[in-house]
Structures are given as structure tokens and as C-alpha cells.
Amino acid sequence: MDDEKVIDINSRKPELEWKKYSKVGFAILILVLLAGLIFSNLFIVQEGEYKIIRQFGEVVRILDEPGLNYKIPFIQTAESLPKFQLVYDSQPTEINTKDKKKMMIDNYVVWRIEDPLKMIQTARTVENAEARLGEAVYSIIRADLGQLNFDEIVNDEASARRGFNEIVTQKVDDVLRRDGYGIDVIDVRVKRTDLPDQNEQSVFNRMISERRSKAQEYLSQGEAEATKIKAETDRQVKEMLAEAEAKAKAIEGEGEKEAAKIYNEAYGKDPEFYRLYRTLLSYETTMKGKPVIVLPISSPYAKLLMGNTQ
């Protein structure tokens, strides 16, 4: 009887050990699954993003501070929205100007999500928000540029376009805030204004004509300025020459005056010698070219030529 009990206990020992190890393994498996479940529902909020926590599709939390967070398994889901500035580059669109001319406008928008809850409630996704943003920009740009003539738009010197980008930015921001999109429009820029293919050649020809007209205007102004400078230079030269001539005559007069003074002084010292000297000088002038001179014999001039000094 005792032997039968011993045999029975020994035969059940492996079974008992298997049940023991099974319970330990099952406990470890449960712990691993729990740990995996916990870690799979941990998430990190990165710098520059919003984390949207949804429960059965409804937004229950919005996290905007960086750090480690946890969501309820199987019930809650997490999705990200950008917190940094975004750039929406729209497709070129055609508008009509005030003078009924067509042109292509290409623009981009710098924006960011200011209130993620409002953005989700109104637009649901970033793509939908950008689509609404593009519609608002196009509508406002078309309305504002439609009040300008073609030349005022393409001419950078035209005052009508000054501050246009700032005005459009403010209007688009006001529209989206009014509609509760939770979007902050930072900047709207018209980066290019092109012409439809059918209008390019005619506009280019007109631009060439305008540039030639402008060049001719500059040339005319240059010629007028050159004529003015030349006339002023000629006047100054004439004044300088007249002043120099006047000074030369004054100097010449002073010299003649000084020469006459010297002659007078010399004449006063020896009148006879001076008269003889002047007579000899007159001979030199008179006898040039061997002229024929008829003089009376009693002429002092003839007496001197004949050597008669009495």
C-alpha cells in the first residue's frame, strides 16, 4: 500500500513541475506584454510640433511642450502637427487687370498654426488649411490687382504697387482669423508676374519702344546739358581773353608811357644828338626798298643827306 503511494507521487512529480514552470512563464509573458503595451503608448513631444491626442476621434488633449508623455492604450491615438513656420507655394494663376489685360501671378505664403484646435475643427488637416489659404490669397490678390492697370503692375517704379505685399498679407490674415481657422499668416509675397504666351510679344515690343523713347529723352537731356556747358565755357573764355587783353593794353600803355618818359629825359639831356638819332632812324625806314625821293635842296632832311649839317 505504501509502495503504491510512493510510486504515485513519483509519477506525478514531472506534471507538478511543468505546471509550476507554466505559471512562471505565463507570468513573465504577461509582464512582457504589459511592458510592451506601456512602452508602445509612450511618446515624445518634439520641439517644433504639437501632439494631438484623440479619444474615439475627438480631440481631448493638445500638447505643445517638449517631453515624454503617455496615452491610454486602444482608446487614444496621437498625431503631430507642425509648430514651426510653413511655406505654401501656390500654382501660378491668371488674373485680369483694370484695363482688361490678362497676366499670370505666382506667389507664396509663409504661415503657421497658431491654434491647433481651431485648425482641426475648421480645416481638419494641414493640406485642407493650405487649400483654404490659397483660395483666400488668390481671391484677395485678384481683387486688389484688378484695381490696377497693367502698366502699374509690371512697372516697378509705379507707386501704386508700393506696400502691396503687406496689404495682401494683412487682408488674408484678417479673413482667416474671422473664419476661425487658427492660422497666423506671416507673409504673402508675389514673387513673379508673367504674361500669357499670346501677350508676351506685344508687351515686349512696347517695352522696347518705351526704353528707346526713354533713351532718346536721356540723349536729348545730355545734348542740352552739353550745349549749356559749352556756352558757359565759351562765355568764361571770352571774359578771360577780354580781361587779359585789357591787362595787356594797360601794360603796353605803361611801357609806352615809360618809354616816352625815357625819350624825354634823353632829349632833355642832348637835344641835338636826339634829333640826329631820330633823323637817322627815319632814314632807315625811308630808304627801305630803294625808293625815289624828291626833296628841295633847302630841306633840312636833304642837307643832312648831303652831309651839310649847317
CB atoms near residue 7 (< 10 Å): 10
**What percentage of the chain exceeds 70 in pLDDT?**
78
Q: Mean per-residue pLDDT for 43-61?
A: 85
Residue pair 103/114 in contact (Cβ under 8 Å)? The answer is no
pLDDT-based confidence at residue 6 (cuts at 50, 70, 90): very low
Closest by CA to 102, choosing from 150, 156, 37, is 150
Q: Mean per-residue pLDDT for 41-66?
A: 85
Residue pair 81/87 in contact (Cβ under 8 Å)? The answer is no
Q: What is the rounded CA–CA span in Å between residue 255 and residue 253?
A: 5
Counting Cα atoms < 13 Å in the Cβ hemisphere of 88 gives: 25
pLDDT at 233: 92
**Does 231 or 31 have the greater pLDDT score?**
231
Closest by CA to 179, choosing from 236, 232, 136, is 136
Q: Measure the CA dihedral 88/91/92/93, to 10°.
A: -100
| pLDDT(282) > 60 | yes
| pLDDT(170) > 80 | yes
Q: What's the whole-number average pLDDT of the chain?
A: 79
Q: Mean per-residue pLDDT for 124-128?
A: 90
Q: Mean per-residue pLDDT for 229-252?
A: 91
pLDDT-based confidence at residue 87 (cuts at 50, 70, 90): very high
| pLDDT(186) > 90 | yes
pLDDT at 144: 83
Residue pair 78/112 in contact (Cβ under 8 Å)? The answer is no
Q: Which position has the grid cell 509573458?
A: 29
Whole-prediction pTM value? 0.52
**What's the CATH fold of domain 86-194?**
Tetrahydropterin Synthase; Chain A (3.30.479)
pLDDT-based confidence at residue 24 (cuts at 50, 70, 90): low
Q: What is the rounded CA–CA span in Å between residue 151 and residue 46?
A: 49
Length reported for the chain: 310
**Does 202 or 142 have the greater pLDDT score?**
142
| pLDDT(9) > 60 | no
| pLDDT(184) > 90 | yes
pLDDT at 3: 47
Q: Mean per-residue pLDDT for 207-217?
A: 87
Q: Mean per-residue pLDDT for 276-291?
A: 72
Q: What is the rounded CA–CA span in Å between residue 197 and residue 202?
A: 10
Report domain extents, the chain.
Answer: 21-81, 86-194, 269-310
What amino acid is encoded at 210 in this protein?
E
Residue pair 99/148 in contact (Cβ under 8 Å)? The answer is no
